[in-house]
Structure 1
Amino acid sequence: MGRHSRKGPEATRRDTGTAEGTGAERGTGRRGRDSATPPAREGHSPFRDAPQARGGHPEQRESGGGWGTVPQPPYDNRRDPAGPGGQDVFRARQAAVARQQAAQREAERRTTGPATGTAALIPGPRREFLEAFDAAPSRPAPPAPPEDTARTSEEPDGTDGAPDDEGDGDGRGPKEGKGRTFTGIAAAAVTTVLAVVVAGQVARDSGGPADSPASSGVDRQDSGDASRSVDRQTPQAQRQEAAPLSYAQKMATAFPLAADLKASGAFEAVPGLAKAPGKGQKYRYRIDVEKGLGLDPGLFAEAVQKTLNDDRSWAHDGAMTFERISSGDPDFVITLASPGTTGVWCAKSGLDTTEDNVSCDSAATDRVMINAYRWAQGASTFGADKLLSYRQMLINHEVGHRLGHNHVNCRTPGAPAPVMQQQTKTLDIDGIKCLPNPWVHPGS
């Protein structure tokens, strides 16, 4: 219905200020005219002795345009004045008023377009567009249908409900339709932008999905922190994981190595010097490791030095002390070699280590051979949980041969086996079963 509800005859009379029987045309949107008022061409005549102002808005004082007109000269409602030249003056005034009215209609026609039907339309913002800004809609308001812009003489479009004060009764052309269409599109676009902004603000306030990846919503931040707390370890756990394994941990860890491996056969001395800690008889030794084993030479060298100089070992009561060197003339060479290379060097002293894949002291040479397979994997007699003890036994047993000790078997059931017993092979000899033992003096 446009900006106002459809008005009946009662509304028309009330708005125009005319009463029945005064000559007002009902339903035409035109203001009643005094019978004594001469017509000014076509259209409406101005009020007597009052400047012509469109829409009855004294506060709208713009000159010209769609909201008002320039002040008009007073209209003389008298008939031809008496006296000489009176009729010429009357006609001149009437012609001046007609020209001003024509100029004003032409200016408004160019600004707002011609009228539709018999009633002129006062241009102005449509109420549905104004209401769109009073309350933010949840969705963009669709533009008004084209037929809503067409109005009849029974649907006046004044800003205050009053009929137009002027109009030529011509039908409005396509310019008004385009203007209203553009106005509707612009208002709908502004409404859409406002709706999007309001929806985005509400979504951000509620932590909803409107928060884009570029923004940092509270919910997403919380969930991100939660996921990081689950996936990421605590600083203490990271420090523990990043910390290197201790000597005992490394000595208790098995390493992969094939039982039939035969490596390059070339040896490389472990660099560095580890001085003898005691004051007993000093033995100087060097450590060689076969190339291509993939084992840690430093760990092996550290294990030999700590084991031999332990008070439970051959250094008991300060009787001996051992010093590792990497150059010069050693008393013997402790060699870590693959099973195949160990067999070669043990065979030089008439010893067969291939049958049980064991180690030996190749007495005909300067090498004490430690089988790398046994060093890496241990033996079933000690088990996987006593790998540290087995490695200590392996060093003490083979160096004991170099120091002149032969094999010794267990004599007391349930007692620790002698370090010179072949514990890699068995702990049960002649029905006497003993416990695994890595030390020369286990009770010390």
Structure 2
Amino acid sequence: MGRHSRKGPEPAGPEVEAALTNEGDDREGVRPGPGSGRRRRAADAASGADGHTPSRQTGHVRGGHPEQREPGGGWGTGPQQAVPRRQQPVGTRPLIPGPRREFVEAFDAPPAPPGPSVPPTRPTRPAGPTGPADERDERPPRGGDADASASGADGGGARTGREGKSVRGRTFTGIAAAAVTTVLAVVVAGQVAHDSGGTSAAQPTGVDRDGPDGASRSDGRPTPKVARVKPLSYAEKMAKAYPLAPKLHGSGEFEVVPGSAKAPGRGHKYRYRIDVEKGLGLDAALFARAVQETLNDDRSWAHDGAMTFERISSGDPDFVITLASPGTTGDWCQKSGLDTTEDNVSCDSAATERVMINAYRWAQGSSTFGPDELFAYRQMLINHEVGHRLGHNHVSCGTPGALAPVMQQQTKSLNIGGIKCRPNAWVHPGS
């Protein structure tokens, strides 16, 4: 719709009256006053000689449309004196249509005091969680005329032209910058509180939070104690079973257990050496200690000081007590005409210097004593085979329920000839 077709009430005021007064002035170059943009009716103007109403506007534009110079139109009205709204006559309207009231009130705040002219800068980066926001982030952007007022003090009309747009744009930019800064401050504060576990200060990355010396464990938390494995006693080791295959045939090579043990008694002294087959994986020192303590026990052959036993590792022994695999034990027993492979037992190879202790029986025991009497079975095994070396033969139990003699083949059975006896490890069990 063209400007000449604008509808609305006719403008009124001193400017319109001045325009009507100058209507009769036919001088060229005199610009008519501002009009309303509407054609006047015939009753409002005198007709010409030919009955037509002369036009009040002398200027024309190409295309046949009259030139309409309206206040606030495309040509503007030039500078006008601002009249405050409260001083305007009641019932009058401003010459220039003003903006909506809510926009005017938004910029009615008093202007900021003038400050040093600083070129507008943008924050290079938002405030991080480890430091405060930069001062530049908190200053609103300024221009050369940042102190100019954007208030509509001239009766509600906002400034037009370049100056009004610049002030309004800077105001919007300041509001947007303040909103962004507030949002960033809230986000940063929440992140800092989350990272620091509720504390007010953030801590640098890569530093342990607990303890003054960088340790991750706090001072109030007790340090767990390292569990120390208590070494087994001699009795516990003698009561424990060890893995060994029943048909193991070792290398046949022996090594002497180093060390010696003096004979504790006053009787006839027997000197012996301990050899252990290589590769068995058994405790050779435990075996040597068991032999020495068992033979010199008062319940054994050393009873009442009849004899005593001394272990040596060099020199000429009276016999050699040998711990060997089942296969190697069978080889050495065979040299004396004894077959130990049938029941996987031990022997005294009398034709040689060796008293053979089957390592399988030493490690696993026998069903006649059971797993709970391994200690006693090992003591019986030593006493029985050394007894053969001392010249004693096999003896069977003669009283049902009595303790079996130490020279009975208790590894094979406790029931011989229909008489069942109890297992026994000692030559003199009642001592």
Q: State the TM-score, normalized to the length of structure 1.
A: 0.59
Which residue pairs with 2:126 in the alignment?
none
Asked whether the equivalents of residues 348 and 362 of structure 1 are also in contact (C-alpha less than 8 Å), the reply is yes
Which residue pairs with 2:428 in the alignment?
441
Q: SS at 1:274's partner residue?
A: coil
Asked whether the equivalents of residues 277 and 322 of structure 1 are also in contact (C-alpha less than 8 Å), the reply is yes
Residue 335 (structure 1) shift: 0.2
Residue 205 (structure 1) shift: 5.1
- The answer to which structure has the higher helix fraction is 1
Residue 436 (structure 1) shift: 0.8
Which residue pairs with 2:295 in the alignment?
308
Which residue pairs with 1:192 in the alignment?
184
Asked whether the equivalents of residues 277 and 309 of structure 1 are also in contact (C-alpha less than 8 Å), the reply is yes
Which residue pairs with 1:201 in the alignment?
193
| Distance change (3 Å), C-alpha of 1:63 and 1:389 | closer
Q: Match of 2:256, as an amino acid?
A: A
Instruction: Tell me whether 361-370 or 171-180 shows the greater mean CA deviation.
Output: 171-180
Distance 2:349 2:160 in 1: 130
Q: Which has the larger radius of gyration?
A: 2
Instruction: Give the number of the structure with larger relative contact order, counting CA–CA contacts within 8 Å between residues 6 or more apart.
Output: 1
Aligned to 1:21, which of 61, 86, 89? 89
Q: SS at 1:323's partner residue?
A: strand
Q: Match of 1:169, as an amino acid?
A: T
Asked whether the equivalents of residues 121 and 164 of structure 1 are also in contact (C-alpha less than 8 Å), the reply is no
Q: SS at 1:18's partner residue?
A: helix
Residue 18 (structure 1) shift: 3.3
Which residue pairs with 2:160 in the alignment?
169
Asked whether the equivalents of residues 276 and 324 of structure 2 are also in contact (C-alpha less than 8 Å), the reply is yes
Residue 112 (structure 1) shift: 4.3
Which residue pairs with 1:280 in the alignment?
267
Which residue pairs with 1:138 in the alignment?
none
How big is the alpha-carbon RMSD for the aligned residues of Structure 1 and Structure 2? 4.2
Asked whether the equivalents of residues 118 and 143 of structure 2 are also in contact (C-alpha less than 8 Å), the reply is no
Q: Match of 2:315, as an amino acid?
A: G
1:107-128 CA-to-partner distances (Å, cap 9, x unmatched) read x974449xxxxxx754xxxxxx
Distance 1:415 1:364 in 2: 34
| Distance change (3 Å), C-alpha of 1:277 and 1:352 | same
Distance 1:443 1:245 in 2: 29
Distance 1:270 1:395 in 2: 17
Q: SS at 2:161's partner residue?
A: coil
Which residue pairs with 1:348 in the alignment?
335
Question: Equivalences for 1:300-379 in 2 at 5 Å?
Answer: 300-379=287-366
Asked whether the equivalents of residues 303 and 428 of structure 2 are also in contact (C-alpha less than 8 Å), the reply is yes
Which residue pairs with 1:390 in the alignment?
377
Distance 1:65 1:423 in 2: 110
Q: SS at 1:334's partner residue?
A: strand
Asked whether the equivalents of residues 112 and 176 of structure 1 are also in contact (C-alpha less than 8 Å), the reply is no
Q: Match of 1:311, as an amino acid?
A: D
Question: Equivalences for 1:212-291 in 2 at 5 Å?
Answer: 216=209, 235=225, 238-239=227-228, 242-291=229-278
Asked whether the equivalents of residues 55 and 164 of structure 1 are also in contact (C-alpha less than 8 Å), the reply is no
Distance 2:301 2:377 in 1: 16
1:221-267 CA-to-partner distances (Å, cap 9, x unmatched) read xxx99xx99xx9x748x12xx22222122111211111111111111
Distance 1:164 1:375 in 2: 118
Q: SS at 1:279's partner residue?
A: coil
Which residue pairs with 1:399 in the alignment?
386
Asked whether the equivalents of residues 378 and 391 of structure 1 are also in contact (C-alpha less than 8 Å), the reply is yes
Asked whether the equivalents of residues 321 and 355 of structure 2 are also in contact (C-alpha less than 8 Å), the reply is yes
Q: Match of 2:180, as an amino acid?
A: A
1:333-380 CA-to-partner distances (Å, cap 9, x unmatched) read 000011111111111111111111110001111100001111111111
Asked whether the equivalents of residues 339 and 354 of structure 1 are also in contact (C-alpha less than 8 Å), the reply is yes
Aligned to 1:408, which of 387, 395, 398? 395
| Distance change (3 Å), C-alpha of 1:246 and 1:179 | farther
Distance 2:156 2:116 in 1: 16
Asked whether the equivalents of residues 248 and 388 of structure 1 are also in contact (C-alpha less than 8 Å), the reply is yes
Residue 412 (structure 1) shift: 1.4
